[in-house]
């Protein structure tokens, strides 16, 4: 495709395309349509309403109110069409079939390439999640089952140390396996051993508030975490 150049040889950007006829019609209607529609309704009602309708004052008042309501409704409809048209134009802003580049976010260099090694939202979220798990990890010496390493139902329970629960530790093990951070601060083997020690005498696991009878939903959660850990 040829591009025009100026006398110095520099390319001249093409002129922006003019508004399509449909856009011009919508713009015209949004400016003058509501007034015309409202006046037409007013004139129609003045001619149609009977003279015996409580006199001319009531007849003209009803016509004025109806005309204003119709005109405002037409203006709102035109404004909605303009808003939808602007949204469609933004979504269809393409360059030769390729989406136009996104605008830079506030605080970033405009038009500059992304620096190598720059963390996006997901790595930052993963790092913050792992740091929170490490900070709230509980080690509890139970006189009956031994040392328990894991988490309770809530990460901010007091007083500390809080006895780990099967539900909290199973969810924590799922997250540890998903993040896969090999720094040794969260050992999957310790969490697996804790879940095994938390099993009920009759088999299965239950939440802290569900008593000593195994619950299928908690048992399925724990078995899923143990299966992932191998």
Asked if 133 and 175 touch (Cβ cutoff 8 Å), the reply is yes
What is the distance between the alpha carbons of residues 157 and 152, in angstroms, rounded to a whole number? 8
pTM of the model: 0.48
Does position 37 have pLDDT exceeding 70, yes or no?
no
User: Residue 159: which pLDDT band, with cuts at 50, 70 and 90?
Assistant: confident
Residue-wise pLDDT for 209-229, tens only, equals 888 888 999 999 999 999 998
- Per the prediction, the chain carries an average pLDDT of 76
CA distances from 223 to 19, 27, 66, 133 (A): 63, 64, 69, 21
Structural domain boundaries in the chain: 21-93, 123-229
Asked if 3 and 12 touch (Cβ cutoff 8 Å), the reply is yes
Does position 103 have pLDDT exceeding 80, yes or no?
no
């Amino acid at each position: 495709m040829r591009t025009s150049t100026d006398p110095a040889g520099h390319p001249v950007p093409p002129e922006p395309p003019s508004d399509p006829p449909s856009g011009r019609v919508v713009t015209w209607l949004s400016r003058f349509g509501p007034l015309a529609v409202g006046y037409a309704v007013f004139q129609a009602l003045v001619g149609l309403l009977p003279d015996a309708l409580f006199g001319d004052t009531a007849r003209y008042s009803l016509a004025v109110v109806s005309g204003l309501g119709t005109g405002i409704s037409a203006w709102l409809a035109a404004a909605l069409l303009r808003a939808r048209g602007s949204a469609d134009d933004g979504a269809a802003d393409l360059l030769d079939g390729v989406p136009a580049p996104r605008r830079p976010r506030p605080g970033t260099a405009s038009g500059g390439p992304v620096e190598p090694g720059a963390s996006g939202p997901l790595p930052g979220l993963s790092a913050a999640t792992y740091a929170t798990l490490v900070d709230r990890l509980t080690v509890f010496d139970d006189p009956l089952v031994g040392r328990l390493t894991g988490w309770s139902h809530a990460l901010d329970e007091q007083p500390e140390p809080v006895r780990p629960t099967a539900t909290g530790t199973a969810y924590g093990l799922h997250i540890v396996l998903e993040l896969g951070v090999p720094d040794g601060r969260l050992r999957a083997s310790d969490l697996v051993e804790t879940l095994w020690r938390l099993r009920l005498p009759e088999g299965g696991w239950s939440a802290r508030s569900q008593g000593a009878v195994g619950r299928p939903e908690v048992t399925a959660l724990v078995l899923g975490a143990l299966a992932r850990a191998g």
